[in-house]
Structure 1
Amino acid sequence: MKRLFLTAAVAAMFFAAACNQPASKKAEQTQRDTAAVAANAALPDKDNVTEVLNSYIALKNDLVKSDGAASKKSAEKLQQELIEVKGCNEAATLAGSIAATDKVDEQRKAFLTLSKDVITLAKGIKTGKPAFVAYCPMANEGKGGYWLSEAKEIKNPYYGDAMLECGEVKEELK
């Protein structure tokens, strides 16, 4: 019991840092909208983190296909799931900013920061399902960008068909 409490406390601190990346000005309204709902959010656990990861992967796959409309729908679902995880308000706001547009270029910019939060969240809770942290050195105007994938095969969400296989797996999460 003591070990479970210690693990939960460490995970809670980890997630507070994980999901608090700065939001863009465009996302401020979404952040205000999610604040009231977030008050009832649950601490991160295997179940709600698994749901977040599944929705994130769906969003990533839609961005790989450069499908702005599908990305918008996936981001809406991800936003709702992030709202339900305590400490993930900023990440929910980023998902909301992706859901607010059909423009894939804008969605991909927000996805860069969102991915940092979701990767940190995934590292903090073991879901029993492998995930891969991939990196593209060309993303973010040559500054590089990370994303989570369900497979080792590189399918780049930052460039889609233009540079589908640009990147490499940097880490495997189990």
Structure 2
Amino acid sequence: MKTAFYIVLTLIIFSCKQSKEAEVIIAPSQVEDVTQEIAGDLNETSGTIPVTFELEYINAIYESYLDLKAALVNTNAGDVASIASDIEEMIKEMNGTDQQLSKLTSFLEKMAASSEVKKQRLLFENVTDEVEKLLSGKVTSGKVIKQYCPMAFDGKGAYWLSNSKEIRNPYFGDKMLKCGVVDIEIQ
């Protein structure tokens, strides 16, 4: 009986002993690499898919749209506003009377006027819809990748267009850079 008592007492003493947590030390070279990676262009991918359209102005709008997406991926409200303004002006110079293009310019105008990335991202969803309508059925070579993030806008989800199958999420930027899936390929 005494032996059992001593065994239980020994177990209690050892179980009450405070354990020290392992201390993690990060070497300076590791910290620098991570910092450099985050500081770079978050929209960068290993490869892009070329595409051409029936009309040259659609090429120009699509290329500018990709610049707009990149600015949102990098969470740069100033660049977003500037690029949105440039696209709006380009469309007005080309063919501002077309109803579909006027809807697009309206969203771009609001985007350019905003300095809040959150509002710009909400408007980007509308811009994406209008750009998709504009280029659908007009691809002459290559393809446009339509991607989807189910978590955007509190679980409502949102789409965007890309020239790469690699996900670079414009709705979350660096917070959830690779959140999303390839939905379809527009050819």
Structure 1 residues 127 and 66: alpha-carbon distance in aligned structure 2, compared to 1, 3 A threshold: farther
Aligned equivalent of 1:117: 130
Residue 48 of structure 1 and its aligned partner are, at CA, apart by 0.6
Determine which structure has more spread, i.e. the larger CA radius of gyration.
Answer: 2
Unaligned stretches of 5+ residues in structure 1: 1-43
1:24-103 alignment, distance < 5 Å: 45-83=54-92, 84-85=94-95, 86-87=98-99, 88-103=101-116
TM-score (norm. length: structure 2): 0.66
Asked if structure 2 preserves the Cα contact closer than 8 Å seen for 1:130 and 1:172, the reply is yes
Structure 1 residues 55 and 115: alpha-carbon distance in aligned structure 2, compared to 1, 3 A threshold: same
Q: Deviations over 1:119-174 (max 9, x none)?
A: 12121311534220000111122111000011110000000000101101111123
1:130 equivalent among 128, 143, 148: 143
Q: Deviations over 1:45-80 (max 9, x none)?
A: 520100000110000000000000111111111212
Aligned equivalent of 1:150: 163
* 2:182 pairs with 1:169: yes
Deviates more, 1:96-105 or 1:125-134: 125-134
Deviates more, 1:95-104 or 1:127-136: 127-136
Instruction: State, as a whole percentage, how many aligned pairs show the same letter.
Output: 33
Structure 1 residues 112 and 158: alpha-carbon distance in aligned structure 2, compared to 1, 3 A threshold: same
Structure 1 residues 127 and 63: alpha-carbon distance in aligned structure 2, compared to 1, 3 A threshold: farther
Aligned length: 131
Aligned equivalent of 2:48: none
AA of the residue aligned to 2:154? E
Asked if structure 2 preserves the Cα contact closer than 8 Å seen for 1:79 and 1:92, the reply is yes
Asked if structure 2 preserves the Cα contact closer than 8 Å seen for 1:66 and 1:160, the reply is yes
- SS of equivalent residue, structure 2 residue 136: helix
- SS of equivalent residue, structure 2 residue 69: helix
Asked if structure 2 preserves the Cα contact closer than 8 Å seen for 1:49 and 1:127, the reply is no
TM-score (norm. length: structure 1): 0.70
Unaligned stretches of 5+ residues in structure 2: 1-52
2:120 equivalent among 90, 107, 110: 107
- SS of equivalent residue, structure 1 residue 153: coil
